[in-house]
Amino acid sequence: MKIGLNPGLPMLVVNAPFDKGLYFNFKNPWLKLVQVRQAIAYVLNRTALAIVGGNIYSPIPIPNEIPDFPYLSQLRNSSTYLNSLNPYPTNTTKAAQLLTSAGFTFKNGLWYTPNGTQFSLVIGVSGTPSPDQQAILQAIQSELANFGITTSLTIFPNINAVHNAWQTGQGYDLFWLDAWGGSVSIYGTFDWGLPLSYFGGYPWNVSQWNLNITLPNGTVVDLHHLFRETRSPASLQQMIQANQEISYYMNQYMAPSISLVEQGIEVIINTQQVSVPSNDSWVWTQALYGIANTGLIQTLLLEGMISPATSTSTSTTSTTQMPSTVTTTTTTTATTTSISTTTSATTVTTTAVSTSVSSVTSVLTSILTSVSSSGLSAPIVAAIVVVIAVVVGLIVYFLARRR
């Protein structure tokens, strides 16, 4: 969770289980090559994309890993799994080497496919993107263009147009979508249903991919089979292993998508008016995944975790004059000292005891100042302070009784 800069009106950005990214269309013969998909992953600067998107976005640390959410910790709690993933740091030199190994050539600042045509891509978007996502898409286009891959943007106006495009695999080479969702299945595992539905046939196969990955040794891995194991595991260990294998293959082969940025939920809270849980509360870090906007406020209210901010106010209906004369006498074995201090009358409210106490406190301060400057010995001063405290307590008591 990130915190805004204004201390009086902080902005909380709650992590949400929605990663934004690009799906590759495997009907494009060049995107079907793993080297090309990996090259694009090395070109795109995920940190820069998150920055242009705004405060609610964060860069994905490692593309296509199991999201770093508390309730998925059992799936990620393996150094072997995490160390096996490729973080794809921005590296245009590496990207160029990959394209060259796939038969591409670089001429006059542009990349050309093995058959000699200029390598350009069309990015599809479902509906008009929001301003923040427009900024990210423009940054993606700019980064690819600077590398030598030209792109254009096609906006599909409604869901029917989107489904028609996915049904045929025509009109786009990349598609901007949620990289995956964040619900939790009944087995307590991450729900890969969103990405696997997109490239598994519902409503159409956005990536036009058959979910099979061919390893260098010729072995074919069927992600459909692994997905079924996450839903109907024979054991907890099988569920964890299946999830990690899905993540590993998607990361290594950039299939079928690359997750780029994490989109959070923005909550602006006026702390002068309401009191909410502290920044490290469980309500921010666990309970609110997927709950946005008014749902978040409703959750806080239902849990009793939001309330009016503590404030104080003073109302005045009438005033009266009260003399503030205090006489204290302190006796020691050697000396008897009488100190009489009189202050001017103080106007106090009759409707708030706290205001009267403030007046008495002013008197006390005046007395103590006089005593401290009188040059008396420490025991005498201490005795004077005790007597003053008793007198002040009696004054407050009688003031309260009058009300």
Percent of the chain with pLDDT over 70: 59
Instruction: State the DSSP code for 98.
Output: H
pLDDT of 6 reads 55
Q: Is residue 197 part of a domain?
A: yes
Q: How far apart are CA 362 and CA 356, in angstroms?
A: 10
Phi first, then psi, for residue 271 (nearest 5°) are -70, -10
pLDDT surpassing 60 at residue 375: no
Which of 263, 280, 307 delimits the end of a domain? 263
Higher pLDDT, 243 or 52: 52
Q: Which residue has the higher pLDDT, 335 or 167?
A: 167
Global confidence as pTM: 0.68
* Residue-level pLDDT at 186: 33
Can you give the pLDDT at residue 402?
Answer: 54
Q: What share of the chain is helix, strand, coil (3-state, %, to 5)?
A: 40, 20, 40
CA distance 284 to 277: 8
Average of pLDDT values for 374-396? Answer: 54
Identify whether 46 is part of a domain. yes
pLDDT digits (tens, 9 = 90+) for 47-91: 999 999 988 888 999 998 887 766 677 888 889 999 999 999 999
Q: Which domain holds residue 389?
A: 320-402
Average pLDDT over all residues of the chain: 73
**Is 288 within a domain?**
no
Max distance between CA atoms of the chain, in angstroms, equals 113
What's 120's domain CATH number?
A: 3.10.105.10
Comparing CA positions, the residue from 19, 27, 74, 51 lying closest to residue 251 is 19
Interval 97-132: pLDDT, tens: 999 999 999 999 999 999 999 999 999 999 999 999
Q: Give CA–CA dist 109/255, Å, rounded.
A: 27
CA geometry: angle 384, 390, 392, nearest 5 deg: 100
Residues 98-101: contacts with CB under 8 Å, at least 24 apart: 98/35, 98/36, 98/38, 98/39, 98/42, 99/35, 99/36, 99/39, 101/35
Q: What is the mean pLDDT of residues 285-306?
A: 64
Query: Among 91-95, 102-106, 194-198, 299-303, which is the least confidently predicted range?
Result: 194-198
Q: Are residues 208 and 143 part of one domain?
A: yes
